[in-house]
Chains A and B, each alone.
Chain A
């Protein structure tokens, strides 16, 4: 998850009396009921719930199931006003959206847990690691593509960006390989552009293409076949040399 720090929302929402800071996530577990007043009206009856108040000011209310999607939430910019319970009245938190004025009203009977933690700036989800590793592994085991294949180089530079792998097949023909985790149409398009460029180089041409991915979409397969590009499905675990746990004939 990437945190977009919204200084307006953050300063209002999480500069609580307890922390006085703007970059903390606050976890509250409380028995509460929640009313949403705005474009639609929704009510969550009294029950124990997890309330997340993030550094950007957003507030989300979770039940004890599923990995995403809160029961109710308010996106930033918004403000949280805490009204302590007095004279038998329960504690009421009101989250107000800064632009639309929509309100999330939490009526809290009992706070079971309340803590704040500084997470800092998130480095972001690293999806490309696998792709880079696939490239490295395939370059190491270039004969996965077929017998007699030899590597020319990884990240072969062209005017429009580097080709993942440039190699030669058993007959000495130059082959450009595009590697993806999921093989989609745009990957085939990308390889097509590289091939067009590489085929202008008299020292390389003819250059044919291999589209290698862990999983190739049928549409991408059709497009690749139509352009004379070979599709190869890669087994990441096998390339890494990870043997499956189960017993096999060979």
Chain B
């Protein structure tokens, strides 16, 4: 095998593929990255792949091939080397059981791993639909923030993707907050109806890294339609698959309150800054207390025995005055996730969940993102 490629092109492709290399490979070849230089439909392409039996990643870039071939090398080492090469043309060629990577005056010789032992990457399931990559990345980051990190409830570490025709709903919850976002997409079959539970961290990383192309294609195969429960994403020459999580996601729709006793509006950035400041004195697991009156919001944290902080903001409130307390990190996650400049908060009582959304548009359409947050009991 022998090919030439610009350093930046190779560095991007290698770095992206290396993200899914297993940290603790149970089989040594899984630490490898597969490089396949070949003619694909008349184009000279280099395809890089990594796989850890859960997540697979594959990217293909244009290169100049002198001699096609397939090799497996240590992915971590290759990524380190390529990242540090000077910005010139890189030449990669095999020399017996070794690979020579040369760029400018630098030359590396690295060992190859047995390519015949490398597992076959899972095939991409059939295309289910496509979505604008920026919209998808934003939506996923808004939702993934509420996913659980505790392995005792594995189904809460995922983002649930509900597909119903041209609407996709993303939702995740860790039992203290719940984030739900609706977006429209272009399904292959306008009557499609499907549900998948995708590991939140993998999904967030994937969505963020596929914004290079305008669209992301999503391919889903669930156990119901005979597959083995897998979702694939493809965009900008990159494709990745991940195994779905099992387990029953809580029936979340009934958790979303229908009616409210009061609705507040606060300038988001001012609110975020104030929460950060006041929560400096909130010890771990002690709440941030909010008091809303018709034109004021008072934030307080800390107790009389220790440090205390208080800050006042202008806000509007319709309905009953309310005093409510939150975990400040959870509150900040919600405020940071909304897209509007004005935070819209809906309350029932101080012991019932509140909903944070962006300020609804003037035409009265409901916000497509909702962040449900459970208050913390105020101790007297």
Taking beta carbons and an 8 Å cutoff, which residues of A are in contact with B? 216, 218-219, 222-223, 225-226, 233-235, 238, 246-250
Contacts and interface: CB of A to CB of B under 8 A. Distances in A.
Interface of B: 23-24, 26-27, 53, 150-154, 173, 175-178, 250, 255, 351, 353, 372, 374-377
A143 to B, nearest CB: 12
A233 B152 contact: yes
B375 A247 contact: yes
A226 B177 CA distance: 35
B59 to A, nearest CB: 26
B24 A249 contact: no
13 contacts: A222-B24, A225-B26, A225-B53, A226-B26, A233-B154, A238-B152, A246-B376, A247-B351, A248-B176, A249-B175, A249-B176, A250-B175, A250-B250
A226 B150 CA distance: 22
Contact of A218 (B24, B175, B178): B24
A223 B24 CA distance: 10
A190 to B, nearest CB: 19
Given A247-B374, A248-B175, 14 more contacts: A216-B151, A218-B23, A225-B26, A226-B26, A233-B150, A234-B152, A235-B152, A235-B153, A246-B176, A247-B351, A247-B377, A249-B178, A249-B374, A250-B175
Which of B152, B372, B374 has the most chain A CB within a 10 Å cutoff? B152
Which of B175, B250, B375 has the most chain A CB within a 10 Å cutoff? B175
B150 to A, nearest CB: 8
Contacts of A250: 175, 250, 255
A246 B377 contact: yes
Contacts of A248: 175-176, 374
B29 to A, nearest CB: 13
B152 A223 contact: no
A249 B372 contact: yes
B98 to A, nearest CB: 29
Contacts of A216: 151
A219 B175 contact: no
Given A246-B377, A249-B178, A250-B255, A233 B151 contact: yes
Contacts of B376: 246-247
Contacts, number: 42
Contacts of B23: 218
Nearest to A221: B24
A247 B377 CA distance: 7
Which of B23, B26, B154 has the most chain A CB within a 10 Å cutoff? B26
Nearest to B153: A235
A129 B365 CA distance: 57
The 9 closest A-B pairs by CB, nearest first: A226-B26, A233-B151, A235-B152, A222-B24, A248-B175, A233-B152, A249-B374, A222-B26, A247-B374
A216 B151 CA distance: 9
Nearest to B178: A249
Nearest to A234: B152
A148 to B, nearest CB: 13
A234 B152 CA distance: 6
A246 B177 CA distance: 13
A115 B173 CA distance: 57
Nearest to B27: A226
A246 B377 CA distance: 7
Nearest to A222: B24
A219 B26 CA distance: 10
B250 A219 contact: no
Which of B23, B24, B154, B255 has the most chain A CB within a 10 Å cutoff? B24
Contacts of A219: 24
Contacts of A222: 24, 26
Contacts of B151: 216, 233
A226 B250 CA distance: 30
A238 B153 CA distance: 11
Contacts of A238: 152
Which of A219, A222, A249 has the most chain B CB within a 10 Å cutoff? A249
Which of B151, B178, B250, B374 has the most chain A CB within a 10 Å cutoff? B151
Contacts of A234: 152
A246 to B, nearest CB: 7
B206 to A, nearest CB: 21
Contacts of B377: 246-247
A216 B178 CA distance: 27
A223 B27 CA distance: 10
A223 to B, nearest CB: 7
Nearest to A231: B151
A161 B147 CA distance: 40
Contacts of B353: 249
Contacts of A249: 173, 175-178, 255, 353, 372, 374
A112 to B, nearest CB: 31
A61 B372 CA distance: 55
A225 to B, nearest CB: 7
